[in-house]
Amino acid sequence: MSQTQILNELSSIRDWLRYAVSRFEDSDVFFGHGTSNAYDEAVWLIFGFLHLPHDTIENFLDAHLTSKEKKDLSFLIEKRINDKIPTAYLLNEAWLRDYKFYVDERVIVPRSLIAESLSENLYPWIDNPEKIYSALDLCTGSGCLGIMMAHSFQNAMIDLVDLSEKALQVAEINVNHYGLHDRIELIQSDLFNGLEGKKYDLIISNPPYLRALTLLRLSLRLTIEKGMSSHFKIFSTSFTSSSNIMPLFTRDGSDTGPNLVRIRRLTGKLKYSNKRLTSLFLPSINMT
């Protein structure tokens, strides 16, 4: 089908949703930057592009697109398939729970199980959220988890730390969007190197880690999926040299499904944490 035929024959959002799902199913697009299947990816791309709410799609399925909308949407669908650009980068948006964040190729698309725990104030690990006065989000990337921390721990001053200056530029966009510039400080640092003298009641980290074998297996995909491989390379260089961090990450031994990492309580064992509270590291899902 030619581009002209597509633009002429597809009229409603329902038409474009069906078309996008079919195209995605017939391609080798990787799902994993916020969705797990072709339908959810198509909904996100189409409704995000049209600035429509994702939770009431039935209200809009029979709405018709303008000629310009159809042309622009067709372009995005082809970019997603042919150039393997994640939808988050095409739309400059990523979601964690009910929070929307700006993202572009300066950061990895955020995915984290910590987001769900933050929505519950990290219970049961944190008993008194109101007693968290200082917190650190290490390897912050887009700043999403630090921003969610600011909403969960209203009394906390929060540092967002990343090695990448470009990532911190993205984090600043999100901090300003949520109006948290008076409570959040952005710090460029290679892990703890630039944090001498600071103490925190809570430390979280969602670093982009992979097992060596997995990284080798996915190297081609990471190169194709724009902006990914360089982040992992930077992270690997930094983390393997850090005696402060590596002992925190202990595999649970599972090779099936999401590979989580055990939480290890470190009260008084890490010089950047206040002794009265636990420093808590909850790394992300392992990509397999």
- CATH number where 48 lies: 1.10.8.10
Residue 209 binned pLDDT confidence (cut-offs 50, 70, 90): low
Specify if 51 maps to a domain.
yes
Give the CA count within 13 Å in the CB-facing half-sphere of 15: 14
The answer on 162 and 75 residing in a single domain is no
The domain total for the chain is 2
246-275, pLDDT tens digit by residue?
222 222 332 322 323 333 333 334 455 554
Residue 235 has pLDDT above 60, yes or no: no
Residue 220 has pLDDT above 50, yes or no: no
Residue 198 has pLDDT above 60, yes or no: yes
Give the domain-ending residue among 23, 57, 91.
91
Domain that residue 30 falls in: 3-91
Phi, psi of 115, rounded to the nearest 5 degrees: -55, -45
The answer on 173 and 130 residing in a single domain is yes
Specify if 127 maps to a domain.
yes
Q: What is the mean pLDDT of residues 213-219?
A: 48
Report which of residues 6 and 14 the model is more confident about: 14
Q: What is the pLDDT of residue 259?
A: 27
Residue 109 and residue 142: Cα distance in Å, rounded? 8
Tell me which of 10-19, 195-204, 214-223, 245-254 is least confident.
Answer: 245-254
The answer on 153 and 192 residing in a single domain is yes
Specify if 279 maps to a domain.
no
Residues 143 and 151 sit within 8 Å (Cβ to Cβ): no
Question: Does the bond joining 124 to the residue before it have cis omega, within 30 degrees of 0?
Answer: yes
pTM: 0.76
Residue 102 and residue 142: Cα distance in Å, rounded? 8
53-111, pLDDT tens digit by residue?
988 899 999 999 999 999 999 999 999 999 999 999 999 999 998 899 999 999 999 88
Residue 125 and residue 264: Cα distance in Å, rounded? 11
Give the CA count within 13 Å in the CB-facing half-sphere of 199: 12
Helix (H) or strand (E) holding 184: strand 184-188
Q: What is the mean pLDDT of residues 16-36?
A: 92
Residue 237 has pLDDT above 50, yes or no: no
The answer on 111 and 72 residing in a single domain is no
The answer on 152 and 63 residing in a single domain is no
Nearest CA to 77 among 67, 66, 91? 91
Tokens encoding 270: 């890490």
114-136, pLDDT tens digit by residue?
888 888 888 888 888 999 999 99
**By percentage, how much of the chain surpasses pLDDT 90?**
53
Residue 120 and residue 188: Cα distance in Å, rounded? 29
Q: What is the dihedral of CA 9, 11, 12, 16, to 10 degrees?
A: 60
The answer on 240 and 119 residing in a single domain is yes
Q: What is the pLDDT of residue 276?
A: 47
Residue 163 binned pLDDT confidence (cut-offs 50, 70, 90): very high
